[in-house]
Amino acid sequence: MNQITFNSDTLYSALLQRDSSFEGIAVVCVKTTGIFCRFTCTARKPKPENVEFMSTPHEALLNGYRPCKVCNPMNYHGSAPEWIKPLLAEVNENPAIPLHNQDLRTRGLDPARVSRWFKKNHSMTFQAYLRSLRIGLALGRLKTGESVTETAFESGYDSLSGFTDSVKRTTRRSPGESRQEQIIYTTRILTPIGPMLAGATQEGICLLEFVDRRMLETQIKRVTHRLQATVLPGESIFFDTLKHQLDEYFAAQRRDFEVPLVLAGTPFQQKVWTLLQSIPFGETRSYKQQAAALGDPAAIRAVARANGDNRISILIPCHRVIGATGELVGYGGGLWRKQFLLKLESTTLLDFEI
């Protein structure tokens, strides 16, 4: 299998440009200071002769480097900064709590800074995030049989009319009609190769994509259309299991995932995605081999398109499909991530076999 390689000039250029797309590929080790950094570190850039690049923070530590206090490369890329963690904990503990700009200032937070962070990490303002959490909480209560009035006031709304208007804006249905509404709850999951957006229905995981994927918004629309659902930030009984198993996978302690999946696609796509799950851990297949396994050797392009439309990354291992000559092609999360996952699995397989 061909490997993607980056020479030192390319990596140093990425460092000078603070290119975040190189997060997860390597860390920057500074010989003169004995520290290692992210590519996005804001500290003064060292001269090229004083830099070496290593694949992981663990490798840097083993070579005697210590983590930079400015960019904290030991944390997953995309993790919440310390200044906002108390607010996130408060909101997650009680999504119904009303928090306006003055409330944020009372907590020592700049409302504009909070809003920028939420726009960058959740694609919505803080107030929009609160409204979405509140609606998600309310719809969950309605589905368990609570009355509309009880749900409205328990979810933090000041009036029944305000609650009704919010539900209609979100679901295009009245609160009573929304009892039957399919909801996809979403959360962010941090991984060593970047944050991911996970989505779940009552039946299982229906979405797992890297948040910087260019097609993410389109993929979300396709899932919601296929399932006739509304997407809201919130909690699912499947998220803790998913997070735990992904942590084990990246720590080379897990080969198979045991969380129910919802394949929101056409019958042909579902056949392709089911076949993907049969590719053994640590192995690869070509698109041609996948088409033949489906019983239609001429359907190579159709298989490739369905493979690219997979919306549950890693768990449905589309990264295990490569070109006929062994080259790495066609991965929505970026070819460097495909390389990382295949290398991780080949190394993990050897560990399991020892």
Of 180, 179, 176, nearest to 164 (Cα)? 176
DSSP 265: S
Residue 146: CB partners within 8 Å, gap ≥ 6?
Answer: 154
CA pair distance 24, 212, nearest whole angstrom: 13
Q: What are phi and psi of 126, to 5 degrees?
A: -60, -45
Torsion of CA 160, 161, 166, 169, to 10 degrees: 140
State how far the alpha carbon of 29 is from the alpha carbons of 37, 43, 72, 179, 297, in Å.
6, 13, 13, 55, 48
Number of other CB atoms surrounding residue 45 within 10 Å: 16
* E strand intervals along the chain: 27-30, 35-37, 51-54, 66-67, 182-189, 196-200, 205-210, 229-233, 285-286, 321-322
DSSP 173: S
Q: Residue length, the chain?
A: 354
DSSP 45: P
Number of other CB atoms surrounding residue 110 within 10 Å: 12
Tokens of 228: 């006739």
Number of other CB atoms surrounding residue 313 within 10 Å: 22
Q: Which residue in 37, 41, 71, 318 is the catalytic one?
A: 318
Tokens of 330: 């066609």
DSSP 32: T
Tokens of 256: 């198979």
Active site residue 37: no
Which residues carry out catalysis?
318
